[in-house]
């Protein structure tokens, strides 16, 4: 898709405490962008400050925090804002029947509602400028669903739908919106998700014994041994292209498994997809 030239290489990147967000912030700074990373906790903010970033506090589950983050960024960027990179997200694993309303709500609050509320704060700014880029970090789970991560998949499916609709709505505005869909990436994300599962499971859960087996297998296991797992820099490279190209792509797939999953979703019947996705999760 065609996009207007960026006149201020300034970017807000959410969820930068570690992993993909941290990698994106570092990569953008290396190629000359003025990066404002966000985090929720004071310790993570201090870590980012110590590395020379002007970090902003942001809790996507809190509208007041979103307003404060946007107003704080506006005061710091008199020449305009070039881009927002929506990376922050959470996952609470568990079979759908074992997920509480609060479990589902928490994932949607961060991965969908808060992300979209933040993005919509910037759209009028971008429209007035006549330029701006939006990059939403989704997941191959936004295209395919897997057992035991149904809530997370649902939130990413919702993000995909909103992103596709908004991209079409922004046509001829000078604003480009791209989706980045990683597969397995070396980060704390999966470890945090499994730790969340460990804290929430109870003997009343139907899949209690399977959860215990999975936790024993997964927790503390190095992702470096995972086949096809790439580093956050591979995601960052796609983000750089989405922010700097005159014709950014609508969709960027990262990792071999993401490419394979995308093709699988287009050509295989449902029963075959079910088989491969169940095998991939090992439940």
The two structure tokens encoding residue 7? 């006149």
Q: What are phi and psi of 232, to 5 degrees?
A: -55, -25
Q: In whole angstroms, how far apart are CA 210 and each of 2, 205, 219?
A: 48, 10, 14
How many residues in the chain? 283
Q: From the centroid of its chain, how far is CA 17?
A: 13
Handedness of CA 89, 94, 96, 100 (dihedral sign): negative
152 in active site: yes
Other C-beta atoms within 10 Å of 266: how many?
A: 8
- Which residue among 141, 152, 194, 252 is the active-site one? 152
Asked whether 7 and 131 are in contact (CB, 8 A), the reply is yes
Residues paired with 185 in a beta bridge: 230
CA distance 179 to 151: 20
CA distance 59 to 88: 9
Please name the residues in contact with 220: beta carbons below 8 A apart, sequence gap of 6 or more. none
Which residues does the annotation mark as catalytic?
152
């Amino acid at each position: 898709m065609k996009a207007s030239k960026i006149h201020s290489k300034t970017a807000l990147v959410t969820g930068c405490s570690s992993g993909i967000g941290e990698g994106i912030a570092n990569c953008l700074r290396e190629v000359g962008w003025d990066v404002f990373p966000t985090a929720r906790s004071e310790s993570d903010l201090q870590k980012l400050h110590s590395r020379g970033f002007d970090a902003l506090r942001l809790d996507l589950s809190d509208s007041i925090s979103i307003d404060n983050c946007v107003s704080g960024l506006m005061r710091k960027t008199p020449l305009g804002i070039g881009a927002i990179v929506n990376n922050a997200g959470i996952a609470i694993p568990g079979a759908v029947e074992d997920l509480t309303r609060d479990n589902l709500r928490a994932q949607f609050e961060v991965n969908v509602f808060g992300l979209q509320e933040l993005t919509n704060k910037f759209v009028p700014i971008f429209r007035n400028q006549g330029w701006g880029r939006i990059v939403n970090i989704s997941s191959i789970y936004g295209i395919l669903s897997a057992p035991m991560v149904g809530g997370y998949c649902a939130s990413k499916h919702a993000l995909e739908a909103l992103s596709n609709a908004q991209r079409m709505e922004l046509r001829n505005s000078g604003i480009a919106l791209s989706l980045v869909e990683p597969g397995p990436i070396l980060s704390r994300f999966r470890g945090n998700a499994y730790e969340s599962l460990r804290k929430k499971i109870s003997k009343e859960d139907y899949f209690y014994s399977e959860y215990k087996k999975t936790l024993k297998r997964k927790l503390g296991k190095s992702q470096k041994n995972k086949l096809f797992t790439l580093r956050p820099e591979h995601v960052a490279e796609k983000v750089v292209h989405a922010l700097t190209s005159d014709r950014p792509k609508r969709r960027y797939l990262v990792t071999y498994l993401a490419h394979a999953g995308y093709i699988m979703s287009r050509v295989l019947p449902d029963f075959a997809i079910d088989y491969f996705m169940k095998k991939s999760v090992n439940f």
